[in-house]
Amino acid sequence: MYIDPAASPAPLAVAGVVVIFVFLVIRGRLKIRLYVG
């Protein structure tokens, strides 16, 4: 899926979503680790 930088109104918003997604993944792994351990 290609996104044209010129057509993208807020590239920072995309970066923010990626950061939040990574944060949720790490948080989820910590929760799983707590449940398993």
Query: Which contiguous run of DSSP H or E holds residue 3?
Result: none
Residue pointed to by tokens 């290609």:
2
**Spatial separation of the C-alpha atoms in residues 21 and 37, rounded to whole Å:** 24
Residue 37 has pLDDT above 70, yes or no: no
pLDDT at 25: 93
Average pLDDT (8-36) is 85
pTM metric for this prediction = 0.53
